[in-house]
């Protein structure tokens, strides 16, 4: 079938809106119709060549959809089901799935690395018949797409599509960093760097656990009001203090924060997060730095200070489980996901969504499909 999509043909070029050919779903695959997709920084990074995506490719990985047609062997969903797409569908059988680390699934990782579905082939072609690559087995910048059944997580149909889409990436990534990887306990102190799409969700995730203090850290002074609206108790601007770890120790009886969660991906912020955690505290790097960037820790401090560094990817838990946990909290009014949704736009305006992300708008641009 033909469907409208936004195709990336070249790094640093605008996405091209055009009709593409989508093949039938094969074994344990599902044809879905997108209902909403967020414009996430990982899409923008890929369009700029970070991670060297295979081209041409259809980006988009933060999405809600409706099941249209099921391929052979599909048992989890049926046509008409409303779903959140997981951009890390997992096989359930490999070493990492059995280690309860499904976001490291070997089957998913191999296919994502070559831009295909699990069988190593693509279901997307240009009208001329050339192969187009899949992105994270989601490729949601398209009206229709074929995805693995394992990436389809059914949700209640009354959840607004734009909210469901954000749960597919930013919300789960940030929430899970605080709840699964940091595992914030009540009455503690948390510091969070980078108050963007992921950082705000880390903040809300931490708040659900009832900490005594949430310190937001961001170089943009406008983020102070945003962070406090979402539950931060304090704000530190690295541009306005001499030494960020010292500023955080001053707020935490000289010890440092019990948990530091770094969502900006800037190397200096990752180092600040390490030094701002108290001895035996937990440091959670979430933000993605560029491949060539490095961070430096004083070697002597690593054993002496007994800090735990816990890398966090897609929330560090089981995305399918966390989607439901998050939507349950949303229903109870404990996660203000509505406040995350910014401008909504048709797929034709996707390049505007990238531009707004680049300009640092505080809310998420969401493409909604008719």
Nearer CB in complex with Zn ion: 105/310:
105
Cβ 264 to Zn ion shortest distance, Å: 15
Nearer CB in complex with Zn ion: 56/315:
315
Asked if 169 touches Zn ion (CB under 5 A), the answer is yes
Asked if 88 touches Zn ion (CB under 5 A), the answer is no
- How far apart CA 167 and CA 38 sit, in angstroms, is 10
Which residue in 77, 97, 117, 215 binds Zn ion (CB under 5 A)? 97
Cβ 161 to Zn ion shortest distance, Å: 17
Nearer CB in complex with Zn ion: 25/197:
197
Contacts of 244 (CB under 8 A, 6+ apart): 217, 236, 238, 272, 275, 276
Which residue in 37, 86, 90, 172 binds Zn ion (CB under 5 A)? 90
Nearer CB in complex with Zn ion: 34/107:
107
Asked if 165 touches Zn ion (CB under 5 A), the answer is no
Cβ 131 to Zn ion shortest distance, Å: 24
Asked if 63 touches Zn ion (CB under 5 A), the answer is no
**Pairing between strand 308-309 and 189-193?**
unpaired
Nearer CB in complex with Zn ion: 35/42:
42
- Cα–Cα separations (whole angstroms), residue 175 to 150, 360, 365: 22, 21, 19
Asked if 112 touches Zn ion (CB under 5 A), the answer is no
Query: Using an 8 Å Cβ cutoff, are 103 and 177 in contact?
Result: no
By rule CB under 5 A, what count of residues binds Zn ion? Answer: 10
Cβ 183 to Zn ion shortest distance, Å: 22
Contacts of 359 (CB under 8 A, 6+ apart): none
Binding segment toward Zn ion, per CB under 5 A, in 40-48, 122-130, 236-244, 274-282: 40-48
Measured N-to-C along each axis, helices 244-251 and 267-276 cross at an angle, to the nearest 10 degrees, of: 30
Cβ 98 to Zn ion shortest distance, Å: 8
Which residue in 15, 36, 37, 42 binds Zn ion (CB under 5 A)? 42
Burial of residue 36 (number of CB atoms within 10 Å: 0-12, 13-18, 19+): buried
Q: Which has the closest alpha carbon to 195: 214, 181, 182?
A: 214
Binding segment toward Zn ion, per CB under 5 A, in 47-55, 87-95, 109-117, 154-162: 87-95
Q: Residues 279 to 338: which contact Zn ion by CB under 5 A? A: none
- How far apart CA 148 and CA 261 sit, in angstroms, is 32
Q: Which has the closest alpha carbon to 32: 2, 4, 61, 66?
A: 66
Task: Characterize 289-320 residue by residue with b for buried, 16 or more Cβ atoms within 10 angstroms of its Cβ, and e for exposed.
Answer: beeeeeeeeeeeeeeebebeebebbbbbbbbb
Q: Residues 241 to 260: which contact Zn ion by CB under 5 A? A: none
Measured in residues, the chain has a length of: 370
Which residue in 34, 105, 337, 356 binds Zn ion (CB under 5 A)? 105
3-state helix, strand, coil in the chain (%, to 5): 35, 25, 40
Which residue in 34, 40, 111, 163 binds Zn ion (CB under 5 A)? 40
Q: Which has the closest alpha carbon to 172: 282, 311, 325?
A: 325
Binding segment toward Zn ion, per CB under 5 A, in 44-52, 54-62, 248-256, 257-265: 54-62
Structure tokens at 20: 């593409």
Nearer CB in complex with Zn ion: 150/248:
150
Structure tokens at 154: 């059914």
* Binding flags for Zn ion, 114-153, as an x/- string (CB under 5 A): ----------------------------------------
Q: Interface residues with Zn ion (CB under 5 A)?
A: 40, 42, 62, 90-91, 94, 97, 105, 107, 169
């Amino acid at each position: 079938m033909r469907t409208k999509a936004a195709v990336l043909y070249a790094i640093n070029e605008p996405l091209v809106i055009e009709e593409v050919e989508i093949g039938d779903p094969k074994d344990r695959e599902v044809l879905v119709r997108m209902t909403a997709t967020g414009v996430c920084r990982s899409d923008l990074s890929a369009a700029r060549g970070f991670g060297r995506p295979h081209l041409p490719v259809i980006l988009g990985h933060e999405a809600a959809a409706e099941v249209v047609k099921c391929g052979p062997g599909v048992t989890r969903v049926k046509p008409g089901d409303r779903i959140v797409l997981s951009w890390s569908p997992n096989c359930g059988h490999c070493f990492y799935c059995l280690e309860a680390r499904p976001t490291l699934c070997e089957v998913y990782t191999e296919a994502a690395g070559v831009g295909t579905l699990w069988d190593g082939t693509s279901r997307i072609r240009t009208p001329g018949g050339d192969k187009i690559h899949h992105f994270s087995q989601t490729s949601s910048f398209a009206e229709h797409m074929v995805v693995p059944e394992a990436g389809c997580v059914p949700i209640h149909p009354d959840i607004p599509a734009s909210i469901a889409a954000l749960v597919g990436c930013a919300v789960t990534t940030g929430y899970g960093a605080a709840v699964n990887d940091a595992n914030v306990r009540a009455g503690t102190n948390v510091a969070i760097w980078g108050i963007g799409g992921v950082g705000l969700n880390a903040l809300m995730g931490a708040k659900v656990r009832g900490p005594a203090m949430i310190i937001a850290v961001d170089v943009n002074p406008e983020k102070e009001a945003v962070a406090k609206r979402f539950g931060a108790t304090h704000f530190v601007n690295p541009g306005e203090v001499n030494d960020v770890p010292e500023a955080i120790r001053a707020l935490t009886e000289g010890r440092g924060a019990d948990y530091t969660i770094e969502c900006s991906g800037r190397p200096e912020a990752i180092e600040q997060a390490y030094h701002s955690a108290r001895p035996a505290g937990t440091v959670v790097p979430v933000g993605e730095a560029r491949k060539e960037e490095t961070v430096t820790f004083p070697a002597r401090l690593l054993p002496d200070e007994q800090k735990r560094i816990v890398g966090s990817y897609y929330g560090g838990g089981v995305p399918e489980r966390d989607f439901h946990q998050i939507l349950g909290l949303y229903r109870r009014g404990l996660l203000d996901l509505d406040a995350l949704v910014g401008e909504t736009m048709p797929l034709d305006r996707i390049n505007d969504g990238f531009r707004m992300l680049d300009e640092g708008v505080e809310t998420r641009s969401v493409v909604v499909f008719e």
